[in-house]
A and B are shown apart, each in its own frame.
Chain A
Amino acid sequence: MIKEYIQFAFSTIVHQRKRRSFLTILGIFIGIAAVVALISVSQGLKDAVSSQFELIGADVITIMPGKFGAGGMTGFGARPLTDTDVEIVENIRGVGTVAPILVRTAKVTFSGEEKYTYVMGIPADKAEDVLLSMEGIKVIEGRLTTKSDKYGAIIGYSIADDFFEKDVHVGDKLEISGKEFKVRGRISKIGNRQDDSQIYIHMSTAREIFNTSEISVIILKVEQGADVERVAEKIKEELKDKHGEEDFSVMTSSQLASIVQNILGIIQLVIVGIAGISLLVGGVGIMNTMYTSVQERTRQIGIMKAVGATNSDILTIFLVESGLLGLVGGVIGCVIGIVLAFGVQFGAEILGYSMLKASVPLWLIAFALGFSFVLGMLSGTLPARHAARMNPVDALRYE
Chain B
Amino acid sequence: MPNDTHASHDEVIIRLDNVKKTYMLGKIPVQALRGITMKVHRGEFIAIMGPSGSGKSTLMNILGALDVPTSGKVWFEGKDISKFSESELARFRGKKVGFVFQQFNLFPVMSALENVALPMIFQDVPEKQRLARAKQLLTTLGLGKRLHHKPSELSGGEQQRVAMARAFANNPDVILADEPTGNLDSKTGKQIMTFLKNLHMEEHKTIIVVTHDPIIAGYAETIVNIRDGQIVHDHILARKHLWPKNRRTGEQ
Contacts and interface: CB of A to CB of B under 8 A. Distances in A.
Q: Do A and B bind each other?
A: yes
Contacts of B93: 306, 308
A306 B99 contact: yes
A11 B124 contact: no
A391 B93 CA distance: 14
B30 interface: no
A313 B109 contact: no
Interface residues of B, number: 26
A128 B187 CA distance: 104
Given A299-B105, A396-B101, A306 B122 contact: no
A16 B109 contact: yes
Contacts of B107: 300, 303
B67 A304 contact: no
Interface string B107-118: 101100000001
A312 B88 CA distance: 12
A393 B166 contact: no
Contact of A311 (B61, B86, B105, B109): B86
A331 to B, nearest CB: 22
A11 B110 contact: yes
Interface string B55-78: 000000100001100000000000
A4 interface: yes
Nearest to A305: B90
B183 to A, nearest CB: 15
A305 B119 CA distance: 9
B155 interface: no
Contacts, number: 61
Nearest to B107: A300
Interface size class, chain A: 20 to 34
Contacts of B238: none
The secondary-structure label for the interface of chain A is helix
Contact of B99 (A299, A307, A313, A391): A307
A75 interface: no
B94 interface: yes
B91 interface: yes
Interface in A374-399: 391-393, 396
Given A1-B124, A312-B87, A396-B101, A307 B109 contact: no
Given A308-B119, A308-B170, A303 B105 contact: yes
Nearest to A388: B86
A309 interface: yes
Contacts of B91: 308, 310
Contacts of B90: 305, 308-311, 313
B16 to A, nearest CB: 16
Contacts of A15: 109
A12 interface: yes
6 contacts: A3-B127, A4-B121, A303-B105, A305-B66, A307-B169, A308-B122
Interface of A: 1, 3-4, 11-12, 15-16, 299-300, 302-313, 391-393, 396
